[in-house]
Amino acid sequence: MADGGSTDETREIAIKAGATVVESSKGRGIQIENGIKASGADVILVMHADCEAQKGVFKGILEALGENPYAVGGSVGMQFKQKNIRTWFVAGLNNWRARLTGVSFGDQAQFFRVDALDAISGFPALMLMEDVELSLRLKEVGKLVFLPQGILVSGRRWQGRDFSYKLMTVFHLFPRYLLERRFRQNDPHKEVYYDIYYSRNKKSARRF
C-alpha cells in the first residue's frame, strides 16, 4: 500500500492485513508510482483504499491478459456497496465509459503489464487525473481489456445532499483535462486539479 500521509487507521489496518506500506508524499499518481517501484510483479493492479475486489477478480485479470497477448492492460467493472439510484447512475457512467472508450477511473481497478510502462514513459505521476492519463497512454501503445464486474466501492463520497455538486466537479475536471491535454496545456507539476477536487470535497463535507 502507498500511503500519502493518511491520518486515520488505514496504515495500521494494511499492516495488520500483511501489506507492505510505502510512505509517499501526497498526490495519487505520485503515491502509485512509489508503490510500483516497491513491487516486483509483472502485472500491476491499482486499487483505491475504499475498493474491494470480489472473489476471482485477480485470476480473471491474469486470464484476460493471457488470452490477449497484445493487451497492455485494462480495468474492471465496478458497483457501489450502497445501492440506490445515485450510485447506480455513477457506476453505470463509469462502466459505460470504460467499456466504450477504454478510459477508466481509479476506482475501477486499473491493471497493466509492467513492461508497458517503458512504452508510455513510465507511470504518470500526476497529483490527480493520473488514472485518465494512464488510460490514454496505454491506449496509444496497445489493446485494453474490460472485465464487466468484480469491484465493490464504498459509496460514502456520494452520500448526502451534495450529490449534484460532487457530480458536477467530476464533469468539470474530466473534460477540462482532456481539452488541456489536447492543446498541450497540462502541467503535471501543478496542483490545480488536485486542489479543485479536494477543496470542493472539503467544502461539501463542511455543509453537513
113-157 pLDDT, tens digit per residue, is 999 999 999 999 998 999 999 999 999 999 999 999 999 999 988
> DSSP label at 1?
-
63-118 pLDDT, tens digit per residue, is 999 999 999 999 999 999 999 999 999 999 999 999 999 999 999 999 999 999 99
Of all residues in the chain, the percent with pLDDT exceeding 90 is 62
Reported as type and span, the H/E element at residue 146 is strand 143-153
CA pair distance 122, 124, nearest whole angstrom? 6
* Residue-range domain boundaries for the chain: 1-40, 41-206
User: Can you name the residues that pair with 76 across neighbouring β-strands?
Assistant: 147
The burial of 192, by beta-carbon neighbours within 10 Å (0-12 exposed, 13-18 middle, 19 or more buried), is given as middle
**pTM of the entire structure?**
0.88
CA pair distance 179, 9, nearest whole angstrom? 38
Q: Which residue has the cell 490527480?
A: 128
- 204 pLDDT exceeds 50? no
Residue 108 near residue 78, CB atoms below 8 Å: yes
